[in-house]
């Protein structure tokens, strides 16, 4: 573990999936503290409110003592300066993620040259998993049991009344 070294894992987490959780666990084994930084992605229409996403994440990571879930708004680069933490963790599932992630990593470093982005790959069983697919499955009556933490599964059931 990188002693006394924190990293931020930013995202919209709408909703959090087991893939996100897998990345959080991997990151928490590498750094002394992980801040899961939750925000609204202005390019997406969210299903869950910011507070709902935070609550679901907090419940999902309750057993991880070095993980904190916090909201942020505005530029990630500005937020990292505020919390004095300049390592960004992002999950990379497949080649299809690469272009967007690469662009974001370079843009963040352009905005603040102290920022380094580290890409972690989730367990291969999660490479196909995304929040939008989970929502689609739930909306169409499918079970999300094996894709999301229990609290998220219950919330999806409440919202979409699926199995």
Which residues contact ligand PNS by CB under 6 A?
10-12, 39, 41, 44, 75-77, 104, 107-108
Question: Which residues are annotated as catalytic?
Answer: 20, 44, 93, 131
Shortest CB 147 distance to ligand PNS, Å: 16
SS3 string, the chain, reads CEEEEEEEEEECCCCCCHHHHHHHHHHHHHEEEEEEEECCCCCCCCCCCHHHHHHHHHHHCCCCCCEEEEECCCCHHHHHHHHCCCEEEEECCCHHHHHHHHHHHHHHHHHCCCCEEEEECCCHHHCCCCHHHHHHHHHCCCCCCCCCCHHHHHHHHHHHCCC
Min. distance of Cβ 163 from ligand PNS in angstroms?
26
Rank residues 12 and 60 by Cβ distance to ligand PNS and give the closer one.
Answer: 12
Task: For the CB of residue 104, give the shortest distance to ligand PNS in the complex, in Å.
Answer: 4
Query: Which CB sits closer to ligand PNS, 3 or 38?
Result: 38
Nearer to ligand PNS, 11 or 149 (CB): 11
């Amino acid at each position: 573990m990188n002693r006394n070294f924190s990293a931020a894992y930013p995202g919209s987490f709408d909703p959090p999936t087991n893939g996100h959780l897998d990345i959080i666990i991997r990151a928490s084994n590498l750094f002394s503290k992980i801040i899961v930084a939750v925000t609204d992605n202005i390019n997406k229409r969210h299903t869950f409110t910011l507070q709902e996403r935070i609550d679901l994440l907090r419940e999902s990571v309750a057993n991880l003592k070095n993980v904190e879930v916090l909201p942020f708004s505005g530029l990630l680069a500005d937020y990292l300066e505020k919390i004095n933490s300049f390592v960004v963790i992002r999950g990379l599932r497949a080649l299809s993620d690469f272009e967007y992630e690469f662009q974001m990593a370079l843009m963040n470093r352009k905005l603040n040259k102290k920022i380094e982005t580290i890409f972690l790959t989730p367990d291969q069983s999660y490479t196909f998993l995304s929040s939008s697919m989970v929502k689609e499955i739930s909306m169409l009556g499918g079970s999300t049991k094996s894709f999301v933490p229990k609290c998220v599964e219950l919330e999806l059931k409440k919202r979409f009344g699926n199995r």
